Structures are given as C-alpha cells and as structure tokens.
C-alpha cells in the first residue's frame, strides 16, 4: 500500500489513501509501530484520506496520534492533505471542504508554479474559552487545548516536565494539548507545544490558533493578525470578522513509498 511522508513546519505525518476494506488494517498497535522513530517510518501521526460521506464535500480525514488515539482535527495535517490531493491529481480544485470529527473544514490552496506553496485553513470559532487561572486558559477548538502564558524564554522552559502533567490533569477528562506561550509583542508570540498522545512536537496548527484566541481573550494580543513562532517555523493566524480563525502555513512532501499492512490485534472503530 502506498504511503506519503509529509510535514507542516516540522509536525510530520504518514498519509494513506486506503480503500474501505483496507481501513480495518489500521489498528492502534500498527499506528504506534508506523509512527515509531526507530522501528517504523516515524511520525507524529497517521492520516487516512477517505471518500466523503456528504454531498458537496471533497474528502474525509481521520487523524491518529502517535499513540494510536484518534484526534478530532489537525491544522498542520489538513494542510498536508490539501497539498497531497492537489499535486497527485486527486482534485483540480483550489478550495476544498474536508470532513473531520470536528466538522467540515474549509481549505484554500495557494498555488505557485503549479505547486501548492501554502495552505489556508478556516476553523470555526472556539466552542469555549475559559480562564482556569491567571496564566492558564482552556480553549476548545475541535481539539481541547490548555494555553499557559509564561514570561521566560520558551526555548528554556521545561515542557517535558509540565506538559504531561497538564495533559492528564483531572480538569481534562479527554486529555488535552498544552501550549506554552510567551508574548513577544501585540502581534507575535513564541510557542512550544505538548501534544496529547504524542509528546512535544515542532508545531501544532490548532494549538497556534488556540494560543492566539486565548491571547486576544485576555487582551495580551490586540490585533487580528498574529505570527506564531514555533520550533519548526512560523504560522500566520488571523481572527476573521465572523469569529472564525484562518491558519496559513506551508506543507512539504518528505518522501513516498510502499508498505504491506498486516492486521494487528483489534481494528479501529469505523468512523
């Protein structure tokens, strides 16, 4: 079965375009094996590109974390999906509607020299933004997020110590992604992220959106357009007038190949 290894500013994924009968091969143990950095292909997650279930939509995305758990959405992953389906001839459209567990997501492909240079993703307004403490904000944006504002250099912050503690805190029964954020100025932030079911990653698209929305809600940010500096690169986040959020950034192909999938243990629940 053919696979594609891609990344969005360092947040990397293994993408498959399986037939429906092959979807049952993707067990949680298999996903963990595929994502393993030493004994597998290596990635932060696995993305299945599936036929849409609803007329008018273009593709359906299922996204699984490196530990085999399923996530609702992924801002970096959906950009990779958009680039893949366009550059491999699965669509000629530049504006796509992708089905996810968090609803239908609008994706706009920015084309340069017949290649996808950048991808803009429009996300719904957060379903909730709640202040937990003076420095911690809970944001639900498809995926759950806990945004922690710090005053020190994020590159030196002990993310590996506090990330897993907050991910599994009793405040978050479904676990949470955790963003550690330092405000540089009213239009830029530095951020590192601890992702639910993965660990620290080089970037998180929905996490960047959550951090910006939390910053606006607490008046730490006072502009509709914010640059989010992550270890893997920069994402551009804009709050639209209708309350929705636009996430813009690149997506890159790393390599592609073929792999034989052997069913392992219990198959994933079909969605």
What b-and-e string marks burial along 121-156, b requiring 16 or more CB atoms within 10 Å of the CB?
Answer: bbbbebeebeeeeeebbbbbbbbbbbbbbeeeebee
Report yes or no on 267 lying in a domain. Answer: no
**Residue 74 annotated among the catalytic residues of the structure:** yes
Report yes or no on 85 lying in a domain. Answer: yes
Whole-angstrom Cα distance, residue 191 to residue 226? 12
**Domain span at residue 118?**
2-122+251-258
Residue tagged active-site, from 74, 80, 146, 246 = 74
Domain count, the chain: 2
**Residue 246 annotated among the catalytic residues of the structure:** no
Judgement on whether residues 97 and 184 belong to the same structural domain of the protein: no
pLDDT, tens digit (0-9, with 9 covering 90-100), for 18-27: 876 777 778 8
Q: Report the CATH number that the domain containing residue 157 is assigned in CATH.
A: 3.10.310.10
Judgement on whether residues 13 and 114 belong to the same structural domain of the protein: yes
Report yes or no on 271 lying in a domain. Answer: no
pLDDT, tens digit (0-9, with 9 covering 90-100), for 48-86: 999 999 999 999 999 999 999 999 999 999 999 999 999
Judgement on whether residues 104 and 149 belong to the same structural domain of the protein: no
Low-confidence ranges of the chain (pLDDT < 70): 20, 262-271
Judgement on whether residues 184 and 117 belong to the same structural domain of the protein: no
Judgement on whether residues 165 and 86 belong to the same structural domain of the protein: no
Judgement on whether residues 35 and 107 belong to the same structural domain of the protein: yes
Residue tagged active-site, from 146, 204, 209, 246 = 204
Whole-angstrom Cα distance, residue 172 to residue 83? 33
Judgement on whether residues 84 and 141 belong to the same structural domain of the protein: no
């Amino acid at each position: 079965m053919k696979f594609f290894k891609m990344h969005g500013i360092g947040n990397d994924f293994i993408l498959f375009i399986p037939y429906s009968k092959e979807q049952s091969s993707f067990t949680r143990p298999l996903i963990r094996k595929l994502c393993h950095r030493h004994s597998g292909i290596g990635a932060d997650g696995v993305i299945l590109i599936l036929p849409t279930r609803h007329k008018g939509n273009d593709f359906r995305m299922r996204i699984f974390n490196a530990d085999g758990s399923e996530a609702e959405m992924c801002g970096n992953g959906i950009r990779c999906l958009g680039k893949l389906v366009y550059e491999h001839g699965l669509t000629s459209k530049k504006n796509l509607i992708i089905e996810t567990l968090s609803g239908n997501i609008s994706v706009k492909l920015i084309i340069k020299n017949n290649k996808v240079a950048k991808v803009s993703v429009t996300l719904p307004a957060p379903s909730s933004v709640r202040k937990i403490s003076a420095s911690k904000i809970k944001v639900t944006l498809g995926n759950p997020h806990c945004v922690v504002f710090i005053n020190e250099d994020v590159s030196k912050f002990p993310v590996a110590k506090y990330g897993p503690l907050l991910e599994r805190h009793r405040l978050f029964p479904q676990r949470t992604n955790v963003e550690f954020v330092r405000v540089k100025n009213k239009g830029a932030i530095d951020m590192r992220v601890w992702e639910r079911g993965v660990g620290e990653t080089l970037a998180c698209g929905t996490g960047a959106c959550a951090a910006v929305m939390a910053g606006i809600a607490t008046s730490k940010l006072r502009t509709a357009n914010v640059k989010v500096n992550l270890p893997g690169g920069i994402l551009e986040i804009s709050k639209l007038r209708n309350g929705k959020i636009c996430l813009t950034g690149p997506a890159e192909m790393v390599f592609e190949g073929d792999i034989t999938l052997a069913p392992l243990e219990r198959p994933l629940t079909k969605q």
